[in-house]
A and B are shown apart, each in its own frame.
Chain A
Amino acid sequence: MKGLVLKDIITLKSYGKSLLLIFALFLFLGLSSGSPLSGAMMVMPISIMAAFVTFSYDKLSNWDCYACTMPIKRNEIVIARYFVTIILSLLFFAASLLSYLFTAVIMQNFSEVYLLIPSYSVLFGFIMILISLILVLNYKFGPDKARIALILIFILPSILTALITQSDVSIALISESTIMLFCMLMPMLGIAALLLSYLMAAKIYQHKEF
């Protein structure tokens, strides 16, 4: 399994410059918006792009067929991919936090400090749910169709949000304690989604033919 993890890391290394460039761009956008927190949080979705990259590279080189000839169990191949994606997300999570601290110090703007824990808690859960979806969709449909499926999945909540906005339901009606509970629950929901996603992906991969 270590070999598979190394393979993904080495493969992503060549993509590293592009990732850093996007990271800097998002950071710049955040800084120019005047809100260090929103700027830092914008960095997080890059880890999702990285997850897609590993699947695309595997598909390009037909890697899975070769991986099946190596002394590795199929579920280990799936575990390795989940491991790399989670580690990468956690790295971007840390980078995002650091960039918040960095920009807040530079801008001398600490007005959002009280939002730090709830915001990052929701963000962590959201990213984990997103990763869960991306990984399982990639295993099921391959990277090309997974991209389309993900876009479709995102259209649905956007429509729901638009409907809520147009309706009379106001966010202000939701009590602060409910919002806090939601913030605290999100990381747990994210981890649960990740576990469920792994179980599904391992089952899909077990029966896949290359």
Chain B
Amino acid sequence: MNHIEVNHINKKYEQFQLNNVSFTVPAGCIVGFIGENGAGKTTTIKSILNCIMIDQGEIKLFGKPISNEIKEEIGVVFDQNFFYEGLSAKDIDLILKNTYKNWDSQLFYHYCTDWELPVNRAMKQLSKGMKMKVSIAAALAHHPKLLILDEATSGLDPISRNDILDIFLDFIQDEDHSIFFSSHITSDLEKIADRIIFIHKGKILFEKDKDELKDNYGVLKTQNEEILKDAHKLRQMRHTFGCEYLIDNRQQIHQAYPEAVCDPISIDDLMVFYVKGDELA
């Protein structure tokens, strides 16, 4: 079952538009949503959550259009804290206890204790990492099945980021859970994502399993015509010293030409190839 189904959505602004965006987030998966700043990640997420109205297309969550019942099943964390800075974790518990049917105060305080969050202290007195953890505790304490995270780890130090990624990995242990995680910190997604969706200038450029990217995609650095003929080249990047190719049959090339320099590709490099490189296939 797909927890999120986005079908051909369009949203036009004066200087930007989401252009025929389609993808799915299956149950039991962590799907990473990548793209440079201004690529359309937040607009897509806000469309999914009904914070903005789409011009065309269809969005389904758990197979249905968004409703209050569906929203009970979703936990949302954005890159900023949405609670007024004067509120404490205790206040947030009181507010959300009276908002979500399934709110579990015990679970909320359990997270706060586990993550050493002072529950009586105002948000303005907490560090950015602590505020983010309060937001995550708030997103998890009503037992959601789907977590939607928009740059939830940006601006955090590596230790806090690591802690937060562990929380997400713990959440996904239940196969009925899923996470849709937008970030431009690709190393985080390399650690936890099962699937990667890349958006650029409001268009989805690719949607692939991370293992497929890891196993088959690579950067080929050669001028050998024979190797180049057998390589399934997708993109090329020209440098002053030659050309690099993005290919999707790295294993095959590696077996046929063990001497060929063909490195596995990082998500960062993949983004650069798609944004800066020339299309070949």
Contact = CB atoms under 8 A, between A and B. Distances in A.
Interface of A: 2-4, 6-7, 10-11, 14, 57-58, 60-63, 65-66, 68-73, 207, 209-210
A7 B97 CA distance: 11
Given A10-B94, A62-B80, 4 more contacts: A61-B83, A66-B78, A68-B49, A69-B76
B162 interface: no
Contacts, number: 76
Contact of B99 (A68, A72, A73): A72
B91 A71 contact: no
B84 A60 contact: yes
Interface stretch (B65-73, B105-113, B247-255): B65-73
A2 B98 contact: yes
Nearest to A14: B86
27 contacts: A2-B98, A3-B99, A4-B99, A6-B94, A6-B95, A7-B84, A7-B87, A10-B87, A10-B94, A10-B95, A11-B87, A57-B86, A61-B81, A61-B85, A66-B76, A66-B78, A69-B74, A69-B76, A69-B148, A70-B99, A72-B68, A72-B99, A209-B51, A209-B53, A210-B46, A210-B51, A210-B52
Give the interface SS of chain B, mostly helix, strand, loop or mixed.
Answer: loop
Interface of B: 46, 49-53, 68-69, 71-72, 74, 76, 78, 80-87, 91, 94-101, 148
Nearest to A74: B50
B94 to A, nearest CB: 6
Contacts of B74: 69
Contacts of A60: 84-85
Contact of A3 (B68, B76, B97): B97
A209 B71 contact: no
Contact of A71 (B51, B71, B82, B87): B71
B98 A209 contact: no
Nearest to B73: A71
A66 B92 CA distance: 13
B234 to A, nearest CB: 36
Contacts of B99: 2-4, 70-72
